[in-house]
């Protein structure tokens, strides 16, 4: 079971269920990344820039949550994503 408050270290998506985790090369669940960002031990969008991921994540959030505008989501993602592990390199 996943600890409360864990987020994908690429896109910031909450990892609230085991099924939401990406997979390592051996098929096991990866503890750092979601299924949208990480599959079979590799990033699904290996060439994505931080700016592109901010846009992708913000759009996904705004599409799923009618209480958040795309602009609000962009502003929040611009604050959150630079602090995640993938973007610290």
pLDDT tens readout for residues 12-60: 999 999 999 999 999 999 999 999 999 999 999 999 999 999 999 999 9
pLDDT band for position 3 (cuts 50, 70, 90): very low
Q: Token pair of 63, please?
A: 């599409």
Element (H, E) at 42: strand 42-43
Q: How many CA atoms lie within 13 A of 83 on its CB side?
A: 7
The span from the CA of 74 to the CA of 4, in Å, is 24
Contact between 80 and 13 under an 8 Å Cβ cutoff? The reply is no
The span from the CA of 34 to the CA of 22, in Å, is 5
Q: What is the pTM of this model?
A: 0.85
């Amino acid at each position: 079971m996943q600890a409360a408050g864990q987020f994908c270290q690429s896109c910031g998506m909450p990892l609230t269920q085991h099924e939401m985790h990406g997979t390592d090369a051996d098929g096991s669940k990866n503890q750092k990344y979601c299924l949208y960002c990480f599959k079979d031990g590799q990033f699904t969008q290996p060439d994505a820039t931080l700016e592109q991921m901010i846009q992708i994540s913000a759009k996904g959030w705004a599409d799923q949550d009618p209480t958040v505008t795309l602009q609000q989501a962009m502003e929040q993602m611009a604050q959150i994503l630079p602090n995640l592990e993938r973007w610290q390199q």
